[in-house]
Amino acid sequence: MKDIKKEIAAVIAGAVEGLDAEGVEALIEIPADSSMGDYAYPCFRLAKTFRKAPPLIAADIASAISGSPLFEKVQNVNAYVNMFLSKEEFAKTTVDEVLEAKDAFGRSDIGGGKTVIVEYSSPNIAKPFHIGHIRSTVIGNSIYKLYDALGYNVVRINHLGDYGTQFGKMITAYRHWGCEEDVRREPIKTLLSYYVKFHEEAEKDPSLDEEARETFAKLEKGEKEEVELWQWFRSESLKEFSRVYDMLGISFDSYAGESFYSDKMPAVLDELREKGLLKESQGAQIVDLSEWNMAPALITKSDGSSLYITRDIAAAIYRKKTYDFYKNIYVVASQQNLHFQQWFKVLELMGKEWYKDCIHVPFGLVSLEEGTMSTRHGRVVFLEDVLNRAVEKTREIILEKNVNTESADETAKTVGIGAVMFQELSNNRIKDYTFSWDEVLNFDGETGPYVQYTHARACSVLRNAGADIEKLAAGHIDWSYICSDAAYGLVKLIYRFPETVAEAADKFEPSVVTRYIVDVAQGFNKFYHDEHILTDNEDERNAKLLLTFAAMQTIRNGLALLGIKAPEKM
């Protein structure tokens, strides 16, 4: 896409002695009120350079650049140079770019040759895949898609929680109260019931906790019976998780979880000792971080068993050696902020200069209306249940309204699951929120179904026109027909898509894309209502059809970055 800011900066720098294009570009703004121009250049900072009042400088610059073919009009208002682009040329450039790129519109090669790792989802095996997991799963998936769109080689890692004391508890519970047939029939719900029962019984009999610790120690040492039970729990859990990932259309390049790094931890411990970082504290091994106002990083427990932080350090070192990453991104809840600060600091103390390329992308927590979710108390909402209910409600609406679709079941799945994902990605990721069935299943307002419906509406216009877009684009187009307020407003929105993708990736914030495609959908609907697209005037109709196609393609590409499908009929 042509960089308009760069072009404006070049025109200003070329017309005014003493200004450089890079400095000018950094100050160019987009006015909130379009009546003040498409772009504006503030002149306050130039007062010292030119020894003049800013309004006088603005008047001189406006006069100097007003003859450029880039602009339809240039005016100075107080200390601002307000610039109105040549609408026809801007519309042509923007729509042509979409027509040429199609599904690749918004993509670039900024990240060519660089590898980015995104770790996301990462549920604990033998525990429910609940509504709280959707945040890491869909935010991480969207961040992967954003970096992929920017040309990076992206490695998607599902760092499964498949190790730790919890498995000592699970194995202990299974031995006391388990039934193989029940586990095979309903793995997650059955294992969850054992986990809940363990904690209930441990409150009455604390010796169970000691038994669980001993069991996990045996698992770490590779004892046959413990390892076989653990592997069984893991494989049964992955079957359940895969079903949910398939519903969401999400996949991974690696399922290397915590257990994968168990044989890599001794080398980490040796290195920490060699560098004089390990200290003993009540039989445990720690790294003292008091100098940085942090609690000590607990590396091994007094019984010698490992902890999350040990495995995370081993994983980061392994990933750097294996992938030589440019960025190593962790999409993990904000309640783990201290954990990440601690082990990033340990990496720094170990002399790993690439520690600064390890990035924690935190997100807010999900709670239930009746309180905080708790696996050990069995208070959870299964994610699969949420997705199935969303699909079922959507199917009811489709049948009730007799929606034009070739497959009610397929459309219900696309729209229902899309609604859940869109809602998750519509707010700033750091915000906490309370899960509500009414909110998830509300399709009114600025929602996924609204955006999907707008895409389907644009597809319907193109179908009804029966036009060959490729043939139209190759012919003469009178771009003056898409210079009205509604049409030109839509053109300006479409133009912003590539920079929106880059901004969202830079901020690790999918909601930037979500809000943007709502704006494009609203812009198209305004254009659809204000203008007659399929007019008898062939030149007018052709120009408007190309703009309709550009809007449809932009919405489709934006939804794809969120991991959401764009139905053509709805």
Residues pairing with 433 in the sheet: 366
d(CA 4, CA 498): 12
**183 CB-near residues (< 8 Å, 6+ apart):** 174, 190, 191, 232, 233, 236
Respond yes or no: is residue 130 known to be catalytic: yes
Residue 298 contacts residue 286 (beta carbons within 8 Å): yes
**266 CB-near residues (< 8 Å, 6+ apart):** none
Radius of gyration, alpha carbons of the chain:
29
d(CA 244, CA 250): 9
- Pairing mode, if any, of strands 71-77 and 80-85? antiparallel
- Pairing mode, if any, of strands 297-300 and 284-287? antiparallel
At 296, is the secondary structure helix, strand, or coil? Answer: coil
Residue 325 contacts residue 319 (beta carbons within 8 Å): yes
**Helix H segments across 66-132?**
87-101
**Helix H segments across 281-382?**
308-323, 337-349
Tokens encoding 273: 């000792």
Long-range contacts of 501-506 (CB under 8 A, 24+ apart): 501/106, 501/107, 501/108, 501/146, 501/149, 501/150, 501/561, 502/108, 502/110, 502/150, 504/146, 504/561, 505/143, 505/146, 505/147, 505/149, 505/150
d(CA 80, CA 75): 8
Residue with tokens 């079941």: 409
d(CA 390, CA 410): 13
How many CB atoms are closer than 10 A to CB 352?
18
Considering the candidates 87, 127, 413, 455, report the single residue annotated as catalytic. 127
Tokens encoding 400: 């009730």
Nearest CA to 87 among 467, 389, 486? Answer: 486
Considering the candidates 133, 169, 393, 413, report the single residue annotated as catalytic. 133
Q: In what order do the strands lie in the sheet with 153-157?
A: 153-157, 115-119, 327-331, 358-361
Tokens encoding 78: 């107080």
Element (H, E) at 360: strand 358-361
Residues pairing with 157 in the sheet: 119, 254
Considering the candidates 6, 48, 87, 130, report the single residue annotated as catalytic. 130
Catalytic positions are 127, 130, 133
